[in-house]
Structure formats: structure tokens, C-alpha cells
């Protein structure tokens, strides 16, 4: 195995040097990613780009059933929920070890969550943990015995199991965290189907088959994740034989792959939202009329049909349409109405205003961000707003946007892929989710009624009732327009014809255990 992994490094290096002549190694899957990962510590990252690697190195107590957002057992064989919905008891597998040969047990689960949730934990400084919000209702985690772990919640919390299946809930090796400390994200150890071998910055992350994997060893011997930020370069690498699988294919690329028997195209609808964060705290967008005007001014039909070439649909609000039980379609997307936009802008005295517009070069779920920004810039100019585009590399972009737009920008592109209707509004629209409180409400939106509805929806375990509450959130936020709601993406990928057993997941995660390569 070591010789094969070394060969994977060497051949991948050759592919980087000679893309026109590249041939991928046998039984090694080369994946073209959209960006360099920030970290491989599952509790320390937020980007789907990073999650796609993590899901193959770690496991959670539960996981999403293939092809669905339904939860099924993983490291936990089963679980019990108390009648009042506040106590979850998980019964763990006893045939699992971490990839560093240390035991997986209830203490490891407790360590994983205490590290993230307890400020006084001795390894809490290995963070920060930006998605700890996913488990804000956890009061205490107790290792009852080696194979039993109990989560006590402060109150009923409907998304709990779904959040455990998300990458933030993946279980880390306590021994590895203790050994590497703040560098654990560069030396990841989990229980997953593949184990970490090496990270060559801005070049590749290599993982190899875990022959002792509790759920059966993968057939593929290694996976090389290559960061290729430019979408057209990813397409060129696929066409030249430098990669076997690429995610987030640009719209222009899909057609040529569909028409070539040497490739397979994959498409899967999922809960995704592409939007513009508007700075509601200062500048023109502190006036709701100007925020609404931007929603009217953007020709979303042209964006989804022309720029994105049918790979997305028009968004209607903060709850993606893929959550049918939480989005009944009663809220219509803002129509394209530049005259209405001009009227609102005049009424607000915002004619001729200059806007600072942050745009990433690429990133998780960002579709075609520069082309979209250029089209939006032109639409805004037609209604009297001068948007000045500033572009950044993805991780630099997040470092600028996530801490908040105050004093920096008026608007910024953003995209989220989520596992529950709770996730995006709870992390990015609540008053208590503003950046200074550790959340992602970078536009500083605040509405007490929305806060109340989101809190109630989290505590409500009846799905019909939850759906009604999210419907109210959809209506209020649509009217308040803290964002410009633009598109819901149909995720895609392309592989060589020899790749078998790969499917896209509605969670937008990348699961490679059952993939083979002919």
C-alpha cells in the first residue's frame, strides 16, 4: 500500500507538470476539487469543499442513507430517545478502531463534542469551531459505559439527528488531537473508509484504503484530491486525462461531456441556495426598499437560463425548494421588474449610489460567481446602482465575508448547501447569529419575529408544524429582503466512463467507499 500511495504522489506530480499527457494511476481515483481545503478537522471547517474529503476519512454516530437525507446507523448501531425528546442514548459498535489503532468508544464521542462545546475543555483551543451552533442544545454528553453514550439536551431539538450526520458531527481520534493539538487539521485521524496519507499544499491531499474499515474495505486503493480552483482548468484536466472525477462542472462544460461516451455526467437536485448578502446595518441596504429593489432588479431568469444554462432554478426565499415539507411554494420569487426597482430606489433616495460588491473566484456551490456578478452588476446599473466588483480567492473571500460586511462591503455573493431547513436561517439570519456572536449573519439582519419562529421550529418535532413555522419565516424574510434570493442549484459532476459506483448525494457530500475504477 505504501508503494502504491508513493506512486500516486509521483504520478499525480507528473500529471501536474504535463497535463496534456497525464494518465491517472491504476486503482487510484484522482478527484478535481474546487479549492484548497482549509483544514481536515471536521469541527473546524464550514465549506462543502472540505467536507467532501472529510466524509471519507471519518464517520459519525449516524449517516445519511444513500440517496436521501434520511438518517441511518453508522458508528452507533441504534439509539433510544426519551419521551420528552431531550435524552438520546446511542449504542455503539464494538468492532471499530481509529486509524491510529486507538479504540473508538463512548469516551471518544464525549471528547469530540466536549472539545467543540465546552470552553474549559483542555483542547478547546484547537478550534475555532464555527458550526458549534449545530449542537447548541446539547447540555451534557456522558459516557455511560464503553459502548453507550448519552446526550442530554436542554430542550427538544428537531434537527439533532440530521446534524449528527453532517460533517460537524464526525468523530475524531482523541489521541491524535492530543498529539497534534492545533495542527490536528493537517494530521486527521478518524474511523472512515480511507486514512490520511499526506497533504501537499495547493497540490493534493492523498488518502489510502482502510483495510480494517468496519463497514467493509473500499475496492479503490487510494484517492487523490487535487485543488483546481479554475473551473475551465478542471474541465481541461478531465479532457486531458489528469483527473477521473470532477465536481461542480461549469455550465459550458456539461454539454461536451454529455455528448462523449468516454464520460458520465451526474446531476442531483438538493437543498442549495445562491444569494447575495446585503449589508442591512449601514449604507443603502439599511433601507428595506433598496434591498427589495435589488431583488426586483436582478434578471434571475437570464441568470439561470443563460449564464447557468439551466443548471439552476430561480430561488424564492431562504428555505430551498428541495425541502418540500417546509416550502409549500406559496411565496413567489421576486419578479424581474426594473421599473419597480427604480421606483423604490428613488423613494429611498439611493439613485447613483456606489456599492462595494465582494465576489469569489470560485468556491463550494458558487456556480459561476464572476460571470453571475458581472450580469448582476449590469442589472443594477440599469436601475441606477453602481456596483464595484472586488474578487478574492475562496478561503480569502470567506475570511473577509464571514466576520461581517460592516466597514467593508455593501453586498457579497454566498451559497449554502444544507441538511435541514433550520440550518441556513438559524446560522445566518438570527439576531444572535451575528458575526460578533460567532454566527454567519454577515449582513446583520434582525427581526424578533423571525428569531421567535426559528427557535420554536427547532423545538417542534412534528414535521407538519415545523413546516408551517418555516413557511412563516419564508414569508417574513422574503419581504424584509436581507438577501437577494437568486438560484437553487442542481449539483453536478462528471467522471470518466471507467468510474463505477459513484452517485451524487442530496447532502452535497462526496462518498467514495463503493467507487471502483476500470
pLDDT tens column, 50-64:
999 999 999 999 999
Q: Are residues 381 and 366 in the same domain?
A: yes
Distance from C-alpha of 438 to C-alpha of 454, rounded to nearest angstrom: 17
Q: What H or E segment, with its residue span, contains residue 465?
A: helix 463-480
Residue owning grid cell 484547537:
126
User: 250 lies in a domain?
Assistant: no
How does pLDDT run across 84-117, given as a tens digit for each residue?
Answer: 999 999 999 999 999 999 999 999 999 999 999 9
Distance from C-alpha of 288 to C-alpha of 344, rounded to nearest angstrom: 9
Q: Are residues 135 and 93 in the same domain?
A: yes
Is the pLDDT assigned to residue 350 strictly greater than 70? yes
User: 262 lies in a domain?
Assistant: no
- The values of phi and psi at residue 42, to 5°, are -65, -25
User: 214 lies in a domain?
Assistant: yes
Judge whether 271 and 252 are in contact, CB under 8 Å.
Answer: no
* pLDDT classification of 20: cutoffs 50, 70, 90: very low
Contacts for 212 with CB less than 8 Å, ≥ 6 apart: 97
What is the distance between the terminal CA atoms of the chain, rounded to a whole angstrom?
Answer: 19
- For 364, how many CA atoms within 13 A lie in the half-sphere containing its CB? 23
Q: Are residues 380 and 426 in the same domain?
A: yes
Is the pLDDT assigned to residue 5 strictly greater than 70? no
Q: What is the DSSP secondary structure assignment for residue 173, as one 8-state letter?
A: -
Q: Are residues 301 and 221 in the same domain?
A: no
pTM score of the predicted model: 0.81
Phi-psi region of 438 (alpha: psi -120 to 50; beta: other; left: phi over 0): left
Q: Are residues 351 and 473 in the same domain?
A: yes
In three-state form (DSSP H/G/I as H, E/B as E, the rest C), the secondary structure along 440-455 is CCCCCCCCHHHHHHHH
Contacts for 443 with CB less than 8 Å, ≥ 6 apart: 277, 278, 279, 280, 281, 285, 405, 482, 483
User: 185 lies in a domain?
Assistant: no
Q: Are residues 404 and 291 in the same domain?
A: yes
Which residue, among 184, 192, 208, 227, has the nearest Cα to 6 in the 3D structure? 208
Distance from C-alpha of 481 to C-alpha of 477, rounded to nearest angstrom: 6
Residue 141 in grid coordinates: 454528553
User: 419 lies in a domain?
Assistant: yes
Q: Are residues 468 and 515 in the same domain?
A: no
CATH number at residue 478: 3.10.105.10
Judge whether 166 and 158 are in contact, CB under 8 Å.
Answer: no
CATH number at residue 86: 3.90.76.10
Cα angle at 303 between 302 and 306, to 5 degrees?
65
245-247 and 483-496: which strand pairing?
Answer: antiparallel
Task: Work out the percent of the chain whose per-residue pLDDT is above 90.
Answer: 84
Q: Are residues 45 and 64 in the same domain?
A: no
Is the pLDDT assigned to residue 15 strictly greater than 60? no
At residue 8, the pLDDT reads 53
User: 235 lies in a domain?
Assistant: yes
Task: Say which residue, 354 or 68, is predicted with more confidence.
Answer: 354
Q: How many other CB atoms are found less than 10 A from the CB of residue 136? A: 15
Task: Work out the percent of the chain whose per-residue pLDDT is above 70.
Answer: 96
354-360 and 386-392: which strand pairing?
Answer: parallel
Q: How many other CB atoms are found less than 10 A from the CB of residue 380? A: 24
User: 255 lies in a domain?
Assistant: no
Assess whether the previous peptide bond of 128 is cis (omega < 30° from 0).
yes
Q: Are residues 86 and 227 in the same domain?
A: no
Distance from C-alpha of 482 to C-alpha of 468, rounded to nearest angstrom: 21
Distance from C-alpha of 384 to C-alpha of 349, rounded to nearest angstrom: 11
Judge whether 417 and 278 are in contact, CB under 8 Å.
Answer: no
Characterize 173-210 residue by residue with b for buried, 16 or more Cβ atoms within 10 angstroms of its Cβ, and e for exposed.
bbbbbeebeeebbebbbbbbbbbbbebeeeebbbbbbb
Q: How many other CB atoms are found less than 10 A from the CB of residue 429? A: 25
* pLDDT classification of 269: cutoffs 50, 70, 90: confident
Distance from C-alpha of 96 to C-alpha of 271, rounded to nearest angstrom: 32
Distance from C-alpha of 82 to C-alpha of 152, rounded to nearest angstrom: 10
Let me know if 351 is exposed, middle or buried by CB neighbors in 10 A (0-12, 13-18, 19+): exposed
At residue 1, the pLDDT reads 52
Judge whether 104 and 191 are in contact, CB under 8 Å.
Answer: yes
* Boundaries of domain holding 100: 58-180
User: 103 lies in a domain?
Assistant: yes
Is the pLDDT assigned to residue 6 strictly greater than 90? no
DSSP-based three-state secondary structure for 498: coil
Distance from C-alpha of 231 to C-alpha of 367, rounded to nearest angstrom: 10
Distance from C-alpha of 149 to C-alpha of 426, rounded to nearest angstrom: 27
In total, the chain counts a number of residues equal to: 518
Domain boundary among 149, 180, 211: 180
Q: Are residues 287 and 240 in the same domain?
A: no
Judge whether 195 and 207 are in contact, CB under 8 Å.
Answer: yes
How many domains, the chain? Answer: 3
Q: Are residues 52 and 138 in the same domain?
A: no
Which residue, among 315, 347, 348, has the nearest Cα to 334 in the 3D structure? 315
At residue 18, the pLDDT reads 36
* Residues pairing with 411 in the sheet: 278, 357
How does pLDDT run across 41-50, given as a tens digit for each residue?
Answer: 999 999 899 9
Judge whether 190 and 171 are in contact, CB under 8 Å.
Answer: yes
At residue 58, the pLDDT reads 98
Q: Are residues 458 and 350 in the same domain?
A: yes
Distance from C-alpha of 417 to C-alpha of 426, rounded to nearest angstrom: 14
Amino acid at each position: 500500500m505504501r508503494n502504491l500511495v508513493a506512486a500516486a504522489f509521483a504520478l499525480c506530480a507528473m500529471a501536474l507538470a504535463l497535463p496534456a499527457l497525464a494518465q491517472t494511476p491504476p486503482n487510484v481515483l484522482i478527484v478535481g476539487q474546487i479549492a484548497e481545503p482549509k483544514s481536515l478537522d471536521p469541527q473546524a471547517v464550514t465549506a462543502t469543499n472540505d467536507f467532501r474529503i472529510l466524509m471519507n476519512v471519518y464517520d459519525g454516530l449516524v449517516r445519511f442513507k444513500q440517496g436521501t437525507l434520511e438518517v441511518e446507523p453508522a458508528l452507533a448501531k441504534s439509539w433510544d430517545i426519551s419521551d420528552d425528546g431531550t435524552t438520546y442514548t446511542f449504542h455503539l459498535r464494538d468492532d471499530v478502531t481509529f486509524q491510529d489503532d486507538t479504540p473508538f468508544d463512548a469516551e471518544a464521542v464525549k471528547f469530540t463534542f466536549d472539545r467543540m462545546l465546552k470552553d474549559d475543555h483542555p483542547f478547546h483551543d484547537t478550534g475555532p469551531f464555527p458550526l458549534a451552533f449545530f449542537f447548541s442544545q446539547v447540555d451534557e454528553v456522558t459516557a455511560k459505559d464503553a459502548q453507550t453514550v448519552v446526550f442530554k439536551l436542554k430542550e427538544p431539538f428537531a434537527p439533532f439527528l440530521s446534524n449528527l450526520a453532517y460533517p460537524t458531527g464526525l468523530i475524531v481520534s482523541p489521541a491524535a488531537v492530543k498529539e497534534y493539538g492545533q495542527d490536528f487539521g493537517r494530521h486527521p485521524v478518524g474511523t472512515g473508509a480511507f486514512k490520511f496519507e499526506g497533504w501537499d499544499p495547493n497540490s493534493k491531499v492523498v488518502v489510502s484504503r482502510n483495510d480494517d474499515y468496519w463497514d467493509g474495505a473500499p475496492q479503490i486503493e487510494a484517492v487523490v484530491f487535487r485543488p483546481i480552483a479554475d473551473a475551465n482548468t478542471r474541465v481541461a484536466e478531465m479532457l486531458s486525462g489528469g483527473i477521473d472525477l470532477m465536481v461542480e462542472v461549469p455550465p459550458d462544460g456539461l454539454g461536451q461531456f454529455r455528448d462523449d461516451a468516454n464520460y458520465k455526467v451526474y446531476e442531483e437536485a438538493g437543498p442549495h441556495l445562491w444569494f447575495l448578502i446585503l449589508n442591512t446595518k449601514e449604507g443603502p441596504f439599511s433601507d428595506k426598499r433598496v434591498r427589495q429593489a435589488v431583488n426586483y432588479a436582478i434578471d434571475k431568469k437570464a441568470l439561470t437560463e443563460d449564464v447557468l444554462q439551466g443548471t439552476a432554478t430561480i430561488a424564492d426565499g431562504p428555505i430551498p425548494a428541495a425541502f418540500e415539507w417546509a416550502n409549500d411554494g406559496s411565496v413567489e420569487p421576486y419578479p424581474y421588474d426594473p421599473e419597480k426597482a427604480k421606483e423604490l430606489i428613488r423613494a429611498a433616495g439611493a439613485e447613483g449610489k456606489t456599492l462595494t460588491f465582494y465576489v469569489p473566484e470560485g468556491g463550494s456551490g458558487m456556480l459561476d460567481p464572476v460571470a453571475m456578478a458581472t450580469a448582476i452588476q449590469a442589472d443594477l446599473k440599469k436601475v441606477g446602482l453602481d456596483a464595484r466588483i472586488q474578487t478574492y480567492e475562496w478561503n480569502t473571500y470567506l475570511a473577509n465575508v464571514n466576520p461581517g460586511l460592516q466597514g467593508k462591503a455593501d453586498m457579497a455573493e454566498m451559497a449554502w448547501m444544507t441538511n435541514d431547513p433550520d440550518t441556513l436561517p438559524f446560522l445566518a439570519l438570527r439576531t444572535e447569529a451575528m458575526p460578533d456572536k460567532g454566527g454567519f449573519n454577515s449582513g446583520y439582519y434582525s427581526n424578533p419575529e423571525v428569531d421567535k419562529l426559528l427557535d420554536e421550529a427547532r423545538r417542534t418535532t412534528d414535521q407538519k408544524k415545523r413546516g408551517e413555522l418555516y413557511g412563516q419565516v419564508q414569508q417574513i424574510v422574503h419581504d424584509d429582503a436581507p438577501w437577494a434570493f437568486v438560484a437553487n442549484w442542481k449539483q453536478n459532476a462528471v467522471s470518466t466512463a471507467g468510474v463505477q459506483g459513484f452517485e451524487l448525494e442530496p447532502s452535497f457530500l462526496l462518498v467514495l467507499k463503493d467507487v471502483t475504477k476500470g
